[in-house]
Amino acid sequence: MTTIVASQVEAQFAHLPPAEQLILLERLVEHFRVGPSGKRGMGERPLDASALSPDLQRELDRLAEEFRASQSDRLSEVS
């Protein structure tokens, strides 16, 4: 169901003129950044990686691995 809704939103977004797309994106980013309750960030609920596309899941996994490797390097520098 979520995928269908997301596809519909993307299709409608694609039909907007570029200026309106930019305005909408700015509003969405501000809404995400501050949130509906006025709090900043995503709140307490962690990201559900299974809801991401396979490409985003792979990128997230790659970044996590890169972060782990850099943390490991920094630990060996301190010793």
In order of 8, 9, 43, 66, the CA distances from 4 in angstroms are: 6, 9, 26, 33
Most confident of 4-13, 37-46, 69-78: 4-13
Kindly tell me if the per-residue pLDDT of 41 is higher than 70.
no
Distance between start and end Cα atoms, the chain: 51
Distance in angstroms (rounded) separating the CA atoms of residues 71 and 60: 16
How do residues 6-17 score in pLDDT, each as one tens digit? 889 889 999 999
Distance in angstroms (rounded) separating the CA atoms of residues 22 and 37: 23
Q: Check: CB of residue 26 under 8 Å from CB of residue 34.
A: no
State the CB neighbour count (10 A cutoff) for residue 7.
10
